[in-house]
Amino acid sequence: MRQVTPLTDGWSLREADGSGEPLPAVVPGCVHTDLLAAGLIPDPFLGRNETEVAWVGRRDWTYETELAAGPGAHERTDLVFDGLDTVAEILLDGRPLGRVRNMHRSYRFDVTGTSGRLAVRFASAHDEAEAVRGRLGERPGAYAEPYPYVRKMACSFGWDWGPTLVTAGIWRPVRLEHWSTARIARVRPLVTVEDGTGRVELAVEVERTRTGAPLAVEAVVGGVRARAEIGEARGTVRLEVPDARLWWPRGYGEQPLYDVELTLLHGERALDVWRRRIGFRTVELDTSPDAHGTGFTLVVNGERLFARGVNWIPDDVFPSRITRERYRRRLEQAAGAGVNLVRVWGGGIYESEDFYDACDELGLLVWQDFPFACAAYPEEQPLRGEVEAEARENVVRLMPHPSLVLWNGNNENLWGFRDWDWEPGLAGDSWGEGYYLGVLPRVVAELDPTRPYTAGSPWSGSWLHHPNDPAHGTHHSWEVWNRADHADYRLHVPRFVAEFGWQAPPAYATLRRALPGEELAPDSPGMLHHQKAEDGNGKLERGLARHFAVPTGDFDRWHYLTQVNQARAVAAGIEHWRSHWPVCAGTVLWQLNDCWPVTSWAAIDGDGREKPLYHELRRLYADRLLTVRPDGAGGGLVLAAVNQCAQAWHGALRLRRMSVEGAVIARADPDLAAGARSVARIGVPAELVPSGPKEFLVADAPESPRAGGAGSGEGLRALYFPVPDREVAYPRPEFEVALAPGGITVTARTLVRDLLLQADRLDPGARADRGLVTLLPGERVTIGVRGWKTPDPDSARCALYCVEPTR
């Protein structure tokens, strides 16, 4: 049987020129984390230290360890690297074993019968990329750094939310594999289900030490066993599982997973074993033309879905630090917000098995980008061969996961070619189209025909339409954040919104940790350094000024209001688009997470703290959502009851036109009847439509699937104010605060708009169980707080914020 010896201990690190003393190295890891552990560089996440460590990515580095000879009982010993970041030469006692230049691949070298000093010499990825650019010519991109010229995590070179920290190192596990006769080189599982029968076809490839030895494979799935002979290099074993239980996305059913074990045999002697988990489900992408344009709807097990999605970036700029537990925690946060789809964005990586395992278990659908983002990518060698090799490896690696439902060729590159003035400057040079419309769909069709592929995001399906046409395929909505008011989300009904978002700073405790000793202000040095978006603060302020009086000289107020505006902006988009199901079939928020402490579009900040936006997502992505929006046709209001439950939604609505002082001006109680997986639209009677700065509409509905909603804790609520907050004649908020078991209770004496407990101001480790809540006079809410060491109502009051009347 194949034996494995992990190579985790005894590594050292030094500059490749031999200068300096060797340092202890952690493998898996990277140069930055080893230098940080040795106290040789400051934490690049703090203050403006990022610039102080830029030199690290410009140097060459060497990892070394002693390699012992393998067990004598085996015919072959391989040195296996699951991931090398990125450009490296591997040597054993000075003898070259090979050279590599792709972070997204694994590598294997025959070291049978040898031992000695193993060295992995990493060249600067900056230098490699700049050298390739020099040979192939300049290509346009969103950023000046040369990330399109090397197969490496693009956001290592910086992004509009991330630092420039160009890593190097043995970033995934390394081991020795000892084997004889033959080993399993690759297993490609095709998993399908039809009429209740699950079918598993395992295409097996083997590597041999010698020809002629008779081989077989035996596979077991769900108690079903099958055996097949293996030819010189490959074979296939097929199994049928009767009464297979279907794997469903969260909110649609359960997520049963089946263990698969495949054993390679020589006679009756086991040589190697391959183990994975699979799930039985079907997936289609409906891109049929209709009266509205060209659709983009995911269909799982025959059920058409509204995708409630988030974009995922690498959870740390140093990916080797992301543990299985951290993946699970972050993805549980996504699931807790009602998310059912996670898009792995193309400027990052193919994530580890731990990520996809968690998605399988949590019922989170995965949309996987191939790693191309926001640039023209050359198609010549050495890049072309690397692209195909990495695609082939990762398609097969990720195929077992039922959560994976879509392959996507790139992020924004087709759009960039058409809209960002790339085409004239390229003058016929290659820019990636051959990957997205040629290589990648061919690889997916050959290796993984059970899953759909789309050429890019955004993409209208062909060059017959503009790549970002909202009526066709996927759409990225960035004009609103960049230039307009978030109310403008209501101007369009895209078929699928794959990116949109609004910025806000991270939690207060995150800022205090990241900017120690700094007097915080929107434009203080550290705050500006941790704002990477072009004119980010200007866009924040202009977006805020459309709705609130922008506070001057009051950072705490600015911090609160920008977080409120982020939640309001995202709500404006999602409420509008969900209310137009099935024309619009999905929203994918930019973005779920951050890779360091930064002002960004994230719902969860770089320290893992949940912004108010996160809690707002729990409302926006709940199975049932109530929203009031202007009726574009008649100038009145429409109440939309969005019901993504499998059961119909019936009951009596309660509509109240109210004054800001709390008086009911008019009331109606229309019936609510929303069928399963549908939207009911109800016109608001004219006499209930509020006008001016002193009125608003309250709509309440019964039967929320989430208990503990705003106000009374029963049902769902939607609010509509006819004018921006800066024009609303809010009364000065009055409320009482009392301790409650596990938290606090707030009782409103006036209208209290968007009350927020910033629990991290009570204690950096404290978390509140809810975000923004609006209370009418006399209503109360209980806010749970975890990690609050010394509860008292006075400190709680100091950590409570709400919208106040414009001075």
Give the domain-ending residue among 175, 194, 226.
Answer: 175
All residues at 6 or more sequence positions from 256 whose CB lies less than 8 Å from its CB, including other chains: 245, 246, 247, 279, 280
Q: Do 164 and 212 share a structural domain?
A: no
Q: Is residue 683 part of a domain?
A: yes
Q: Is residue 616 part of a domain?
A: no
Kindly report the CATH number assigned to the domain that includes residue 110: 2.60.120.260
Q: Do 782 and 676 share a structural domain?
A: no
Residue 332: active-site member: no
Give the domain-ending residue among 118, 150, 175.
Answer: 175
Rg over CA atoms, the chain: 28
Cα(693)–Cα(298) distance, rounded to whole angstroms? 42
Q: Do 166 and 23 share a structural domain?
A: yes
What per-residue string of b and e applies to 540-572 under the rule 16 or more CB within 10 Å gives b?
beebbeebbebbeeebebbbbbbbbbbbbbbbb
Q: Is residue 342 part of a domain?
A: no
| The residue to which tokens 């729990």 are assigned | 618
Local structure of 156: helix, strand or coil: helix
One-letter amino acid at 474 equals T
Cα(784)–Cα(770) distance, rounded to whole angstroms? 8
Q: Do 50 and 199 share a structural domain?
A: no
Q: Are 170 and 120 in contact (CB under 8 A)?
A: yes
Q: Are 669 and 685 in contact (CB under 8 A)?
A: no
User: Which backbone phi and psi does 481 adopt, to 5 degrees?
Assistant: -60, -40
Structure tokens at 407: 């392959």
Please report the pLDDT score of residue 212 as a whole number: 83
Q: Is residue 147 part of a domain?
A: yes
Q: Do 185 and 165 share a structural domain?
A: no
Q: Do 734 and 718 share a structural domain?
A: no
Whose CA is closest to 645, among 570, 689, 714, 706?
Answer: 706
| Tens digit of each residue's pLDDT (9 = 90 or more) over 547-556 | 999 999 999 9
Handedness of CA 120, 124, 129, 133 (dihedral sign): negative
Q: Is residue 795 part of a domain?
A: yes
DSSP 453: E
Kindly report the CATH number assigned to the domain that includes residue 717: 2.60.40.10
Structure tokens at 215: 């081989």
Handedness of CA 454, 456, 457, 462 (dihedral sign): negative
Task: Determine how many CB atoms are found less than 10 A away from the CB of residue 784.
Answer: 17
Please report the pLDDT score of residue 707 as a whole number: 34
Cα(430)–Cα(427) distance, rounded to whole angstroms? 9
Range of the domain at 676: 622-726
Q: Is residue 554 part of a domain?
A: no
User: Which backbone phi and psi does 71 adopt, to 5 degrees?
Assistant: -55, 135
Q: Do 167 and 67 share a structural domain?
A: yes
Cα(661)–Cα(329) distance, rounded to whole angstroms? 43
Residues of the chain under the 50 pLDDT cut: 704-713
Q: Do 84 and 63 share a structural domain?
A: yes
All residues at 6 or more sequence positions from 483 whose CB lies less than 8 Å from its CB, including other chains: none
Q: Are 418 and 467 in contact (CB under 8 A)?
A: yes
Cα(371)–Cα(344) distance, rounded to whole angstroms? 9
Q: Is residue 533 part of a domain?
A: no
Please report the pLDDT score of residue 19 as a whole number: 84
| Tens digit of each residue's pLDDT (9 = 90 or more) over 563-612 | 999 999 999 999 999 999 999 999 999 999 999 999 999 999 999 999 99
Cα(156)–Cα(275) distance, rounded to whole angstroms? 33
Q: Do 90 and 220 share a structural domain?
A: no
Q: Are 232 and 204 in contact (CB under 8 A)?
A: no
Please report the pLDDT score of residue 582 as a whole number: 97
Point out the catalytic residue in the list 50, 412, 575, 695: 412
**Is residue 708 left, alpha or beta, with left meaning phi > 0 and alpha meaning psi from -120 to 50?**
left
Distance of CA 780 to the CA centre of its chain: 35
Cα(347)–Cα(349) distance, rounded to whole angstroms? 7
Q: How many domains does the chain have?
A: 4
Kindly report the CATH number assigned to the domain that includes residue 796: 2.60.40
Q: Are 278 and 400 in contact (CB under 8 A)?
A: yes
Local structure of 33: helix, strand or coil: helix
Burial of 686 (0-12, 13-18, 19+ CB in 10 A): exposed
Q: Do 122 and 9 share a structural domain?
A: yes
Q: What is the 3-state secondary structure (H, E, C) of 235-300?
A: EEEEEEECCCCECCCCCCCCCCCEEEEEEEEECCEEEEEEEEEECECCEEEECCEECCEECCEEEE
Q: Do 761 and 635 share a structural domain?
A: no
Element (H, E) at 325: helix 324-336
User: Angle of helix 324-336 relative to helix 353-362, nearest 10 degrees?
Assistant: 30
Task: Determine how many CB atoms are found less than 10 A away from the CB of residue 791.
Answer: 16
Structure tokens at 272: 């190697």
Helices and strands (H, E) in the chain, number of each type = 17, 46
DSSP 587: E
pTM above 0.85, yes or no: yes
Beta bridge partners of 299: 284, 304
Give the domain-ending residue among 278, 307, 330.
Answer: 278
Cα(529)–Cα(50) distance, rounded to whole angstroms? 9
Beta bridge partners of 235: 204
Q: Is residue 88 part of a domain?
A: yes
Q: Do 153 and 15 share a structural domain?
A: yes
User: Which backbone phi and psi does 497 adopt, to 5 degrees?
Assistant: -95, 100
Structure tokens at 648: 């119909």
